[in-house]
A = this chain, B = another copy of it.
Amino acid sequence: MTSTKRKPTIHEVAHMAGVGIGTVSRVINNHPSVRAETRAKVQQAMEHLGYAPNPHARRVAGGRSYTVSVLLPFVATEFYIRLIEGLEATLSEERYDLALFPLLTPKRLERYLRSGTLAYQTDGLIVASYDLTEHFAGGQFPTDRPVVLVDARNPNYDSVFMDNLLGGRLAAEYLSRFPGELFFITVEEDIDRVFSHTVFAERRAGFQQGAELARRTVNPDQIFHTRLSAEGGRLALQTFLRHYSPPLNIFAGADLIALGVMEEAERLGLRLGQDVRLLGFDGQPWTAQYGLSTLAQPVEAMGARAAQLLLERLQNRRFEPRQVRFEPHLIERPSTLGAQVIDSR
């Protein structure tokens, strides 16, 4: 006895609207074959009663969970906030719920996937940022549910991914147009991280390629490894300045790291866009106010696309795994444009 007041049911709605419960159900589920007039009557009754369908009854009767699980790193980045919003926007249109499963340890993941109740909890899986197949025998997820990867890539599964190599290359090409050396701040995995991704390694490889194409050298001490935090950016700038003098052209592997670079530059009295040219990656909403140039990722769109792929799978459609590639796009702001631009192309 947890609830205080009885909640209205489909029967009460049907009674009030003067229709059968089947019709109410059809209205709830946006079934096309309902007369507009009938639909209106039913909707009025629902509103009047403050009716909300019981999802559990729906799941029992429908024989499905109407739920999609999202397996994602347990980190504080805005990236995942945006990703979740993209997923949710698309899934909720089809009345699917989202269940978040934070990837903490492989043991938990294993337990989760093999648990007898997962069958009831989830119609499909979305796996963010990791290609987890390596954790399982045969490179297959131990589940009969459809799986879609987002911000990650595997040829055996539908994948929605960012072309990080291209991103790194664009960064190097762009920063090469300015005087001064090139620098890169990359994120290293924590030692204790058991799940690994390749995002930052790809950006770095792209950056090296782009630098080569522009005939610029990037020495090992022009690359700083740190964790994904603003403070990592601050440390990076301090370290660069021990051996190099402004102007510095810095590509931060993530906006959050670029934020730390900005803070430290300000503390040191360096002018952004002149002494330090700074380019981030992600396109977080706050970068606009901060005047941070960045390679923007259409994160919400990636989430929406992944959700769409999964919904199609859930409709039992059979096709080969689909690979959807997204590209970052450059947004120029004061952090790189403080002074005159030398266009050497």
Query: Interface residues, chain A, CB within 8 Å of chain B?
Result: 1-4, 7, 50, 52, 54-57, 59-60, 63-65, 73-76, 80-81, 84, 99-100, 102, 104-105, 116-117, 119-121, 123-124, 144-145, 192, 226-227, 229-232, 234-235, 238, 260, 286, 314, 316
Contact = CB atoms under 8 A, between A and B. Distances in A.
- Which 5 pairs from chain A and chain B are nearest by CB? A52-B116, A231-B231, A229-B229, A56-B59, A75-B76
A27 to B, nearest CB: 16
B145 A2 contact: yes
Given A231-B226, A232-B231, A52 B1 contact: no
A120 B235 contact: no
B75 A316 contact: no
Contact of A60 (B3, B60, B81, B102): B60
Contacts of A65: 2, 56
Q: Please give the count of copies of this chain that the complex contains.
A: 2
A102 B75 CA distance: 11
Contacts of A119: 3, 7, 52
A63 B7 CA distance: 11
Contacts of A81: 74, 104-105
Nearest to A100: B100
A56 B50 contact: no
Contacts of A316: 1
A7 B63 CA distance: 11
A80 to B, nearest CB: 7
Contact of A235 (B54, B74, B231): B231
Contacts of A52: 116-117, 119-120
A216 B302 CA distance: 55
Contact of A227 (B1, B56, B229, B314): B229
27 contacts: A1-B63, A2-B65, A2-B124, A2-B145, A2-B314, A52-B116, A52-B120, A55-B120, A56-B56, A56-B60, A56-B120, A60-B60, A73-B76, A74-B76, A75-B75, A75-B76, A76-B76, A81-B104, A99-B99, A100-B100, A100-B102, A227-B229, A227-B231, A231-B232, A231-B235, A231-B260, A238-B238
Nearest to A236: B231
A278 to B, nearest CB: 18
A61 to B, nearest CB: 9
A227 B227 contact: no
A67 to B, nearest CB: 10
A47 B54 CA distance: 31
Contacts of A234: 231, 235
A125 to B, nearest CB: 12
A116 B64 CA distance: 21
Contacts of A231: 226-227, 229, 231-232, 234-235, 260
